[in-house]
């Protein structure tokens, strides 16, 4: 966590629930973090609005600190915004899969071409590269060196006096002859979007009929990235983006805006100059980077662990302090229901051991049955199960009002006394035998 965020979260720690009021400050910090990470303002606005609405509407999970829950909501939403899952490269059914790389000058296209070849080679796919940057002889040289010498894949070179579309045609024919599985074409970039570049790319695309058209974007572009991806998508039609230079200072806000604005996923990221520095784009890791939380994934995972620990401790405390009247019983069963699966909770109670699914279903049915009877008890009866134990009239009334049999009512009463006894014993085990007195 950055110090700013940390202090916002800390302020939340004493709170019981997330409210409109108490999330104002943390959300302001999140807003700042997003803007600092260079997420575009409209995206930030919408995001903050959505997350705030959701946070306030969410029932707090028992045992989860509000700050943890807010972290979870924020990071989940960031992940969703970035497409949720890893967006895999698509391979064509018939050989070869063709990948066309596009992008402005200097963003890392040539580097990515070779990196991608290595990446695919490691996946066991045979590759070939096509050198399509006819404007800079040095670019062709660069691809040949990286491709052939460093990565060890063939590079098709046609020279600088051949049109890119023609190079594409020749290269594709060569790839088919070689029977390679994937062919990757590097292209020339310009400093800015211009018509000549777009036309050239359109011509190349027509020839290649590529499976993937990936726009290479420099993460340092920041907010501009989203507009760039959108333009390329509108002009030539792309299937996704590759975000490079994530090893730099950029906080990666570009990643957030790209999917949201253009609708196209980021498929891969480059995080260094070495050939190995290309990997799938993981939205959850990026969420952490954008929020400046390091690896939010592990943080949330850890929070979840703590959360379960706290849930268990909380429940345990409740059990230990409970007089175990029907009110406690209701509170507990409702808390259990709120926490989700009973199996999870039962598993957390020390000393409960393993419980089979059938036993859990049975227990859940029982809980409903008991609740319907407890609901018709008077407050006094709920607090003092003894009253019911002593009075057949009261038991009759409860049976009548809850629509259950008198036998079922008697069983419930017997059960609460049994439970008290069991809790007492359980406490003895947990406390190492030193039993605190119980009002029983």
Token representation of residue 300: 């949330």
- What are the backbone dihedrals phi and psi of residue 323, each rounded to the nearest 5 degrees, phi first? -75, -15
CB closer to ligand GDP, 230 vs 244: 244
Binding partner of residue 210 among Mg ion, ligand GDP, none, CB under 5 to 8 Å per kind? none
| By CB under 6 A, residue 270 contacts ligand GDP | yes
* Alpha-carbon radius of gyration of the chain: 31
Least distance between ligand GDP and beta carbon 263 (Å): 23
Least distance between Mg ion and beta carbon 141 (Å): 11
What's 30's DSSP letter? H
Q: Which of residues 89-118 bind Mg ion (CB under 5 A)?
A: 109-110
What kind and span of H or E run contains 101? strand 97-102
- What are the backbone dihedrals phi and psi of residue 279, each rounded to the nearest 5 degrees, phi first? -150, 165
What's 220's DSSP letter? G
Among 2, 54, 92, 105, binds ligand GDP (CB under 6 A): 105
Place of tokens 């023609």: 166
Q: What x-and-dash track marks residues 215-244 binding ligand GDP by CB under 6 A?
A: -----------------------------x
> Which of 85, 105, 279 has the alpha carbon at shortest distance from 194?
105
From CA 101, how far away is CA 135, in angstroms rounded? 16
Q: What x-and-dash track marks residues 174-203 binding ligand GDP by CB under 6 A?
A: ---------------x--------------
Query: Segment near Mg ion (CB under 5 A), from 38-46, 75-83, 135-143, 336-344?
Result: 135-143
Token representation of residue 223: 């907010």
Beta pairing class for 240-244 and 266-270: parallel
| By CB under 6 A, residue 385 contacts ligand GDP | no
Among 52, 97, 111, 250, binds ligand GDP (CB under 6 A): 111
Q: How far from the centroid of its chain's Cα atoms is residue 97's Cα? A: 30
Hey, CA dihedral for 48, 50, 56, 59, is it positive or negative?
Answer: negative
Query: Segment near Mg ion (CB under 5 A), from 133-141, 319-327, 412-420, 429-437?
Result: 133-141
Least distance between ligand GDP and beta carbon 107 (Å): 4
Interface positions with ligand GDP (CB under 6 A): 103, 105-111, 189, 244-245, 247-248, 270-273, 277
Interface positions with Mg ion (CB under 5 A): 109-110, 139
């Amino acid at each position: 966590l950055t110090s700013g965020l940390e202090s916002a979260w800390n302020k939340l720690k004493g709170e019981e629930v997330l409210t409109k009021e108490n999330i104002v400050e943390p959300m302001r910090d999140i807003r700042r973090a997003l803007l600092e990470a260079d997420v575009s303002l409209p995206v930030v606005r919408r995001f903050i609005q959505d997350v705030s609405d959701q946070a306030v509407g969410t029932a707090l999970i028992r045992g989860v600190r509000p700050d943890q829950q807010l972290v979870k909501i924020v990071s989940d939403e960031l992940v969703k915004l970035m497409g949720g899952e890893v967006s895999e490269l698509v391979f064509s059914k018939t050989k070869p899969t063709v990948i066309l790389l596009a992008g402005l000058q200097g963003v890392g296209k040539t580097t990515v071409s070779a990196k991608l070849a290595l990446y695919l080679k490691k996946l066991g796919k045979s590759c070939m590269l096509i050198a399509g940057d006819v404007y800079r002889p040095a670019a062709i040289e660069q691809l040949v060196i990286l491709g052939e010498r460093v990565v060890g894949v063939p590079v098709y070179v046609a020279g600088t006096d051949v049109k890119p579309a023609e190079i594409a045609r020749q290269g594709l024919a060569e790839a088919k002859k070689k029977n390679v599985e994937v062919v990757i074409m590097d292209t020339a970039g310009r400093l800015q979007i211009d018509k000549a570049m777009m036309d050239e790319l359109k011509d190349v695309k027509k020839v290649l009929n590529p499976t993937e058209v990936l726009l290479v974007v420099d993460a340092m572009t920041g907010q501009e990235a989203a507009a760039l991806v959108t333009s390329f998508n509108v002009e030539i039609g792309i299937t996704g983006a590759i975000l490079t230079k994530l090893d730099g200072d950029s906080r990666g806000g570009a990643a957030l805006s790209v999917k949201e604005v253009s609708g196209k996923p980021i498929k891969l990221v480059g995080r260094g100059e070495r050939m190995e520095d290309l990997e799938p784009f993981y939205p959850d890791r990026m969420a952490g980077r954008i929020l400046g939380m390091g690896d939010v994934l592990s943080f949330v995972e850890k929070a979840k662990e703590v959360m379960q620990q706290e849930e268990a401790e909380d429940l345990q405390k409740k059990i230990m302090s409970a007089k175990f009247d029907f009110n406690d019983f209701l509170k507990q069963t409702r808390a259990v229901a709120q926490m989700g699966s009973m199996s999870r909770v039962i598993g957390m109670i020390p000393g409960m051991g393993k419980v089979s699914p059938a036993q859990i279903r049975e227990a859940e049915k029982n809980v409903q049955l008991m609740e319907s009877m407890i609901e018709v008890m008077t407050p006094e009866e709920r607090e003092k199960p003894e009253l019911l134990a002593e009075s057949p009239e009261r038991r009759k009334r409860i049976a009548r009002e809850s629509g259950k049999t008198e036998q079922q009512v008697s069983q419930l009463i017997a059960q609460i006394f049994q439970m008290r006894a069991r809790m007492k014993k359980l406490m003895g085990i947990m406390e190492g035998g030193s039993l605190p007195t119980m009002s029983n």
